[in-house]
Amino acid sequence: MQFKTLIAGLAGLAGSIALPAHADTFDGPYVGVQAGWNRGEVADAATEALPLDAEASRDALVIGGYAGYNHRIGENFVIGTEAGFSGAVDDEIRAQSDGNAVTLDPRYSFDVSARAGYLVTEETLVYLRGGYANTRVRATVEGEEGSARVNDNLDGWFVGGGIERAITDRISARVEYRYSDLGSDGGAWDRHQALVGVSYNF
């Protein structure tokens, strides 16, 4: 009887070790990839030194990655931070400056933000975010005397919100909208994005 009891106890201990503990999807570090729609809108000035004759815009595909950290507070609230990096495909904006043709090419963007959300269910997070945004832009001006190229960094801010859904303990998917104002350096550059992302939660 004692031998059977010992075997049963060891089997139970082995089972408890082999079975992983339930992971909280929205508590801890994560990394992810995302893609979606990007619309850049410029008016008045693309950069501080480049006034435009009229408004211009361009729709494009944007892809990128991100990493962040979630901290769960109580049963339903989640706060965290996130950093992202992205680039768009075929997103050059064409405009006029003093009668000269201008091509504005956003090379890449990065952002840092804070996020706050509410768990409407154990698997579904509704959230808002806001933070700092930066875009590297190459402007090419075509004039009678030839072409000139200028690179500039556009600093600004962005706000957004979305819904994230846990698919498994480790994998989650999200849909998010963002509005960015990149005109704090003297330009007038707005950006709208609708993004779909997939995250791996550690």
Domain boundaries, the chain: 26-201
Does pLDDT of 71 surpass 90?
yes
What single string gives the DSSP state of each residue in the chain?
-HHHHHHHHHHHHHHHHHSPPPP-TTSEEEEEEEEEEEEEEE-SEEETTEE-SS-EEEEEEEEEEEEEEEEEETTTEEEEEEEEEEEEES--EEEEETTEEEEEEEEEEEEEEEEEEEEEETTEEEEEEEEEEEEEEEEEEEETTEEEEEEEEEEEEEEEEEEEEESSSSEEEEEEEEEEE--TTS--EEEEEEEEEEEEE-
* The pLDDT of residue 19: 36
> Which pLDDT value is given to residue 50?
73
Pick among 1.10.10.10, 3.30.1640.10, 3.20.20.140, 2.40.160.20: CATH of 26-201: 2.40.160.20
Q: Is the pLDDT of residue 143 over 90?
A: no
- pTM of the complete model: 0.83
**pLDDT band at residue 195 under the 50/70/90 scheme:** very high
Weakest mean pLDDT among 16-25, 38-47, 88-97, 182-191:
16-25
